[in-house]
Structure 1
Amino acid sequence: MKEDKINLSKMRADAYWAYLEFCEATSEVPRKEIYNQIKTCSDDQALDRLTIWIENNHSKFEKMMLQNAEVKKKGFWSRIFKF
C-alpha cells in the first residue's frame, strides 16, 4: 500500500512537471482545473495518460514553433538575396 502511494506521488510530480514545462513553453498561465485534476487523480493509468498527453502537446507545440521559425527565416532571406 505504501509503495503504491509513493509510486502515485512520483507520477503526480511527473505530471506537474510536464504541465509546468508545457505552460512555460507556451507562455500559458497554469490553470487551477488541471492542477486539481492531477492532485485528485488516484488512478495511476489515468495519470500516466495525462502526462503523455501533456508531453505530446508540448512536443507538437515545439515542432510547430520550429517550423514557423524556419519558414520566417527562408522568407526573409529570400527577399533580400536571390539564390
Structure 2
Amino acid sequence: MGRTPRSGAAKLETALERAGVEHDVKLYPDAGHSFLNDADNSPPAMRPLLRAILGIGPEPVAADDAWSRIDAFFARHLA
C-alpha cells in the first residue's frame, strides 16, 4: 500500500541506535500518508483512487496507537 519506502523505518532505527538517541520507531504496514487524520480530507471523488493507489487516508487503529506513543514520548522528554 502506498509508495512509502518500507525500509526507511529500519534504517532510521539503526541510525538512531548508533547515535545513542532515544527513540520510538514503529512501522504501520497498512498506514500510508495522512493516516493520523481523523477524517479523509481529500476530494470525495478522488478518495477511492488515492486510497487504492497511494494508500492515502485515515487508519484509525494505527492512528490511535501512534498518538498514544507520540503523547508518551513527548511526556517523557518535554515534561
Q: TM-score, normalised by structure 1?
A: 0.29
Say which one has the larger Rg.
1
